[in-house]
Amino acid sequence: MIKAMFINGSPRKNGNTAKLLNRAMEGAKDAGAEVEMVNLYDRDLVYKGCMSCFACKVKGGRKGVCSFKDGLQPILERAVEADVLICGSPVYCGYPTAGLRAFTERLIFPAVNYSNFMQPVVNKPKRSASIFTMNCPDLQMYKANAYDILMDAGAKNLGIFGPTEILYSFDTYQFHDYAKYDAAQIDETHKAQIRETQFPKDLEKAYELGKRLCGEG
């Protein structure tokens, strides 16, 4: 059975990113996959980014997986063994969240082969995808802000394990009550319209993504 892992890099377990990941997980289930969701911002999950211990590069040592012992290490073990990996994050200051960046650092660096950069240490090839949610209104503005460099370049590093892709959800509804926040330049009516018309389409794209990645090969 295909194992699919979903990584929520948002602090919100029920926000836009989580909703898209959950919908992708439903698609994976319908394709017959065994699924797991990990919320990186769970309060009892304590971890850091790469500690530069180089244990993954020691001769005769274990290769391809981070060995630093903390709350993230067993999650990384399962991620390495997954057939499909889908990571999600909102855009914070032009980047994925710090939580997701720390996760991907420690997932990807052990696969970098210092003896042959052209042959990464991949214990199990996998298909992967990144889901990005954001206030940014469209792909044109996304690229104008260089998010395709800041966001996409990091996401494409998952390609070290096999085919990878990106799903974008633009112009998302952020607050439960816009009246409580200093957000005068944001049109709540417009945001509500996008939530009603476009976000359901994004959810279906996420469903098809999960189903497709878990249904191939």
Structural contact between residues 9 and 37, judged by C-beta atoms closer than 8 angstroms: no
Grouping H, G, I as helix, E, B as strand and the rest as coil, residue 150 is helix
**What distance, in Å, lies between the first and last C-alpha atoms of the chain?**
12
The pLDDT assigned to 115 comes to 95
Predicted structure pTM score: 0.96
Q: What is the pLDDT of residue 135?
A: 95
Mean pLDDT (10-residue bins), the chain, 217 residues: 97 97 98 98 95 95 95 97 98 96 98 96 97 96 95 96 98 91 92 96 98 85
pLDDT for 60 equals 92
pLDDT of residue 176: 87
Q: The tokens of 46 are what?
A: 């304590």
Q: What pLDDT score was predicted for residue 177? A: 87
pLDDT score at 54: 96
Write the pLDDT tens digit of every residue in 64-100: 999 999 999 999 999 999 999 999 999 999 999 999 9
Instruction: Give the total number of structural domains in the chain.
Output: 1
Residue 71: per-residue pLDDT: 96
Q: What pLDDT is recorded for position 58?
A: 96
Q: How far apart are CA 71 and CA 169, in angstroms?
A: 30
The predicted pLDDT at position 216 comes to: 63
Using DSSP's 3-state secondary structure scheme, residue 104 falls into: helix
Question: By residue range, what is the domain housing residue 88?
Answer: 3-215
**Rounded-to-integer distance, Cα 77 and Cα 75, Å:** 5
CATH code at position 206? 3.40.50.360
- What's the confidence (pLDDT) of residue 121? 96
What letter would DSSP give residue 92?
A: B
